[in-house]
């Protein structure tokens, strides 16, 4: 029934369930959450209701006289209260924020009770306005706004808790067979006409009710009689990729040659008409149930006890108006799940009980809720990405799939690592495809950030309060992610032939360039270090000559440090620094900060500035390097400079090198100091 009533059961303590077995064994890509909401199993005294807006289970004992317990997946503290038994409860829900309780006990009225501190616990009642109408149910659209759905239309009210009364905001007459509510989008869908296949949506927002354009669901074949032919069991509403869809489970395809059921998606926009946009092929018949998790449509099949998932963002066959999709992965069961043994702690040494999956007592709610009335559990359904990697072998398609998932980052990085190492090493063209897909997402984010920054700078953001900073999702995998988790690890392993290693690094750089993303210097450094390790200096020379490696100060410093093993690197580096029009003293500072003391000295000699440099700065750097021979070399260089410039090797007090002289004597002895030479 529309109220979301589940066969009776009572709320009790919580248990923590366990998902059994590793994903490798069964390739289960769907799982029930580990911490379900637990309520006692059904009994004649107890009724259970589910409120889709607050995602709460209500256990109502003896009409509320012996207690009502309310629990949600998010809130770990149940709400408990009693209320007078005024007859069988048909529907019970809290307003958003749990401040006002609404209870329907008759077909004509709804009772209200304030849960506001210091307000009297007195019920107040609202009868439906339409004569001879029966209330099918109600939906809270905000903390103080409620909609009654009757068989003759809808009535939109504002609740005034202080006055303990309701004010009618708007009503609309229309014959209603059944209704459905999507709390995420505040849309109520009404089934109208004799066959029930004309659907009329209404949208609610802060005190206003708007009628959206109605649409007709295409039934599989012309109905034989004029009776209700579209059941609410075959309809669901859900937000997928930020858009509202009505999902229709059609048990037989309209085309006679194809067997099996299908799910037809109708896109329901705020403005404009509702259009049929996607068909999901199930290729089987029987009993089905639908969920939506992480923007995927999940279809459960009771007969085979398996589920399949569809992703409407992936390419399908387009027939001119609709896109036809096959399921992304082979059908699999939800991961086996064990229910903890109930009872006091002393008794819980009993083995946990395997949960009966796909049970006939399961009731499914949107988007991702599964309730087992017979076992007294409420779960949220989850998608597991690791098993998908072994089931979707086409890396391009795998990336398209993973990039749309919420928690995708670490899985994507591990796929990248896998495709670079044995035994799953991919071809360069596959690797290039993956890099391009990652950088496409990365570039989209960088552009959004840039546009946002420009709007903020120009001050336009004040006039556009809706403008929000772009959200960085897990699909944005930047250069530091790739460097830290994939590329540096890959080059350190040294498993692959060096030509392959260099090709992979260059492929990633090519991809960044293709998307006009500035390449970070540490990627170039990785290329250079790899080339140097394998003595591929000719290749390094070519890369620099043809500007495959872009100029940067850190890169120039790295080249300077290579001079001892590859002499031309000195000139290549100086050329690069000149192109960057870098100040000479800045180059020296950078080199010293990288402990490249000799390289700094060679550089300064190369430009003829070695007579005016500070001895202390170089001696400090040499001492920090903790290399005695380096310190000796630098110290001796400055002694010789002093001798040449002043005719005496010792340092003047103005140079503040006393501590370095003392250190030199300690390590090498006083006799090692240079003696003044006289001519």
The 10s digit of each residue's pLDDT in 109-168 is 999 999 888 777 788 989 989 889 999 999 999 999 999 999 999 999 999 998 999 999
Are the C-beta atoms of residues 504 and 526 closer than 8 Å to each other? no
- Proportion of the chain in helix, strand, coil states, percent, rounded to 5: 30, 25, 45
pTM comes to 0.80
Are the C-beta atoms of residues 148 and 117 closer than 8 Å to each other? no
Integer angstrom CA distances of residue 335 from 173, 231, 276, 350, 363: 47, 30, 33, 22, 18
Q: How deeply is 677 buried, as exposed, middle or buried, from its count of CB atoms within 10 A (0-12, 13-18, 19+)?
A: exposed
Q: What is the SS3 string spanning 253-298?
A: CCCCCCCCCEEEEEECCCCCCCEEEEEEECCCCCCEEEEEECCEEE
Each residue's pLDDT tens digit, 522-556: 899 899 989 988 888 888 888 888 888 888 888 88
Q: Which residues pair with 147 in a beta bridge?
A: 139, 156
Integer angstrom CA distances of residue 11 from 46, 54, 57, 550: 9, 17, 8, 65
Long-range own/partner contacts, residues 342-349 (CB < 8 A, 24 or more apart)? 342/12, 342/15
Predicted pLDDT at 176 = 94
Are the C-beta atoms of residues 57 and 40 closer than 8 Å to each other? no
Q: What is the SS3 string spanning 481-511?
A: HHHHHHHHHHHHHCCCCHHHHHHHHHHHHHH
Integer angstrom CA distances of residue 559 from 499, 518, 598, 630: 21, 20, 13, 20
CA dihedral 330, 333, 334, 336 (to 10 degrees): -140
DSSP reduced 3-state for 159: strand
**β-pairing verdict for 275-281 and 323-325:** parallel
Please state, in angstroms and rounded to a whole number, the distance separating the CA atoms of residues 216 and 276: 10
Integer angstrom CA distances of residue 623 from 130, 502, 565, 605, 617: 92, 36, 23, 21, 10
Please state, in angstroms and rounded to a whole number, the distance separating the CA atoms of residues 301 and 278: 20
Average pLDDT rounded to a whole number, residues 419-447 = 92
Please state, in angstroms and rounded to a whole number, the distance separating the CA atoms of residues 577 and 572: 9
pLDDT above 70 covers a percentage of the chain that reads 91
Of the ranges 61-70, 471-480, 615-624, which one carries the lowest mean pLDDT score? 61-70
Predicted pLDDT at 222 = 67
Taken in order 113, 119, 120, 125, the sign of the CA dihedral is negative
Of the ranges 1-15, 187-201, 367-381, 592-606, which one carries the lowest mean pLDDT score? 1-15
Residue 548 lies in a domain: no
Residue 86 belongs to domain spanning: 5-219+230-386
Residue 163 lies in a domain: yes
Average pLDDT rounded to a whole number, residues 328-357 = 74
- How does DSSP assign 118-158, residue by residue? TS----EEEE-SSTT--EEEEEE-SSSEEEEEETTEEEEEE
Integer angstrom CA distances of residue 509 from 373, 414, 465, 516, 616: 55, 20, 38, 10, 41
Cis ω for the linkage preceding 367 (within 30 of 0): yes
Asked if residue 364 has pLDDT above 70, the reply is: yes
* pLDDT, mean over the chain: 86
Predicted pLDDT at 25 = 46
Predicted pLDDT at 60 = 86
Residue 17 lies in a domain: yes
Q: Up-side HSE of residue 332: CA atoms within 13 Å toward CB?
A: 21
Average pLDDT rounded to a whole number, residues 454-475 = 78
**β-pairing verdict for 178-182 and 362-365:** unpaired
Residues 6+ apart with CB under 8 A from 365: 4, 50, 52, 371
Long-range own/partner contacts, residues 73-81 (CB < 8 A, 24 or more apart)? 73/33, 73/35, 73/36, 73/37, 73/378, 73/380, 76/14, 78/11, 81/115
Predicted pLDDT at 343 = 46
How many other CB atoms are found less than 10 A from the CB of residue 546? 8
Residue 180 lies in a domain: yes
Please state, in angstroms and rounded to a whole number, the distance separating the CA atoms of residues 425 and 418: 7
Structure tokens at 298: 């999940």
Residue 133 lies in a domain: yes
Asked if residue 10 has pLDDT above 70, the reply is: no
Residue 99 lies in a domain: yes
Q: What is the SS3 string spanning 318-362?
A: ECCCCEEECCCCCCECCCCEEECCCCCHHHCCCCCEECCCCCCCE
Each residue's pLDDT tens digit, 26-59: 689 999 988 888 887 767 788 889 999 999 989 8
Structure tokens at 148: 């009654």
Q: Up-side HSE of residue 129: CA atoms within 13 Å toward CB?
A: 16
Average pLDDT rounded to a whole number, residues 254-275 = 83
Integer angstrom CA distances of residue 129 from 93, 151, 154, 171: 21, 12, 10, 9
Residue 431 lies in a domain: no
Predicted pLDDT at 461 = 59
Q: Which residues pair with 262 in a beta bridge?
A: 250, 281
pLDDT level of residue 256 (50, 70, 90 thresholds): low
Please state, in angstroms and rounded to a whole number, the distance separating the CA atoms of residues 401 and 328: 9
Average pLDDT rounded to a whole number, residues 11-26 = 43
Predicted pLDDT at 306 = 94
Q: Which residues pair with 61 in a beta bridge?
A: 46
Give me the number of domains the chain comprises. Answer: 1
Asked if residue 23 has pLDDT above 50, the reply is: no
Predicted pLDDT at 7 = 33
Are the C-beta atoms of residues 19 and 335 closer than 8 Å to each other? yes
Average pLDDT rounded to a whole number, residues 294-298 = 96
616: closest CA among 624, 628, 608? Answer: 624
The CATH number linked to 288 is: 2.130.10.10
Residues 6+ apart with CB under 8 A from 188: 139, 147, 149, 154, 179, 180, 181, 182, 201, 202, 204
Residue 499 lies in a domain: no
How many other CB atoms are found less than 10 A from the CB of residue 494? 12
């Amino acid at each position: 029934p529309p109220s979301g009533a589940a066969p009776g059961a009572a709320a009790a303590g919580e248990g923590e369930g366990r998902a059994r077995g590793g994903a490798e064994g069964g390739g289960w890509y769907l799982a029930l959450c580990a911490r379900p909401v637990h309520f006692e199993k059904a009994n004649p005294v107890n009724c259970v209701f589910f409120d889709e807006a607050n995602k709460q289970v209500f256990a109502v004992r003896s009409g509320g006289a012996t207690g009502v317990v309310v629990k949600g997946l998010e809130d770990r503290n149940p709400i408990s209260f009693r209320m007078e038994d005024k007859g069988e409860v048909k529907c019970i829900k809290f307003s958003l924020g749990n401040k006002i309780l609404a209870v329907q006990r008759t077909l004509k009225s709804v009772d209200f009770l304030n849960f506001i501190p210091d307000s009297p616990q007195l019920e107040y009642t609202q009868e439906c306005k339409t004569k001879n109408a029966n209330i099918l149910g109600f939906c809270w659209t905000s903390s103080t706004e409620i909609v009654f759905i009757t068989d003759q239309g809808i009535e939109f009210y504002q609740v005034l808790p202080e006055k303990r009364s309701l004010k009618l905001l708007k009503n609309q007459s229309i014959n209603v067979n059944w209704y459905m509510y999507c709390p995420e989008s505040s849309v109520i869908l009404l089934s109208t006409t004799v066959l029930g296949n004309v659907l009329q949506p209404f949208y609610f927002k802060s005190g206003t009710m708007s009628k959206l354009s109605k649409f007709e669901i295409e039934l599989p074949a012309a109905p034989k009689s004029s009776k209700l032919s579209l059941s609410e069991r075959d309809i669901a509403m859900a937000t997928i990729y930020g858009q509202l869809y009505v999902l229709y489970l059609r048990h037989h395809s309209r085309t006679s040659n194809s067997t099996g059921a299908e799910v037809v998606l109708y896109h329901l926009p705020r403005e404009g008409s509702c259009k049929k946009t996607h068909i999901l092929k199930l290729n089987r018949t029987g009993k089905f149930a639908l969920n939506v998790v992480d923007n995927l449509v999940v279809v459960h099949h009771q007969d085979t006890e398996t589920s399949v998932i569809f992703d409407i963002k992936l390419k399908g066959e387009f027939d001119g108006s609709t896109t036809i999709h096959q399921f992304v992965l082979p059908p699999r069961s939800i991961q086996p799940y064990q229910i903890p043994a109930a009872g006091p702690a002393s008794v819980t040494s009993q083995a946990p009980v395997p949960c009966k999956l796909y049970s006939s007592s399961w009731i499914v709610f949107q988007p991702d809720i599964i309730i087992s009335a017979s076992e007294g559990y409420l779960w949220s359904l989850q998608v597991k990405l690791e098993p998908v990697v072994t089931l979707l072998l086409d890396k391009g398609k795998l990336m398209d799939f993973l990039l749309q998932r919420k928690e995708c980052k670490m899985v994507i990085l591990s796929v990248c690592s896998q495709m670079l190492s044995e035994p799953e090493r991919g071809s360069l063209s596959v690797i290039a495809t993956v890099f391009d897909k990652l950088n496409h997402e990365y570039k989209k984010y960088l552009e959004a950030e840039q546009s946002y920054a420009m709007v903020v700078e120009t001050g336009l953001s004040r006039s556009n309060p809706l403008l929000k900073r772009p959200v960085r999702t897990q699909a944005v995998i930047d250069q530091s992610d790739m460097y830290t988790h994939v590329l540096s690890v890959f080059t350190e392993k040294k498993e692959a032939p060096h030509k392959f290693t260099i090709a992979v690094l260059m492929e990633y750089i090519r991809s960044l360039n293709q998307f006009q993303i500035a390449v970070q210097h540490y990627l170039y450094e990785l290329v250079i270090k790899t080339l140097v390790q394998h003595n591929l200096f000719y290749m390094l020379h070519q890369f620099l000559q043809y500007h495959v490696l872009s100029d940067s100060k850190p890169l120039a410093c790295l080249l300077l440090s290579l001079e001892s093993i590859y002499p031309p690197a000195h000139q290549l580096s100086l050329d690069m620094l000149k192109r960057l029009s870098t100040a000479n003293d800045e180059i020296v500072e950078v080199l010293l900060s990288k402990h490249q003391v000799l390289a700094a000295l060679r550089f300064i000699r190369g430009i003829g500035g070695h007579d005016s440099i500070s001895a202390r700065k170089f001696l400090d750097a040499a001492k920090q390097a903790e290399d005695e021979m380096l310190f000796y070399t630098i110290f001796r260089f400055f002694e010789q400079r002093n001798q040449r410039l002043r005719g005496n090797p010792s340092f003047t007090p103005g140079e503040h090198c006393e501590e370095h002289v003392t250190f030199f004597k300690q390590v090498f002895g006083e006799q090692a100091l240079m003696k003044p030479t006289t001519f």
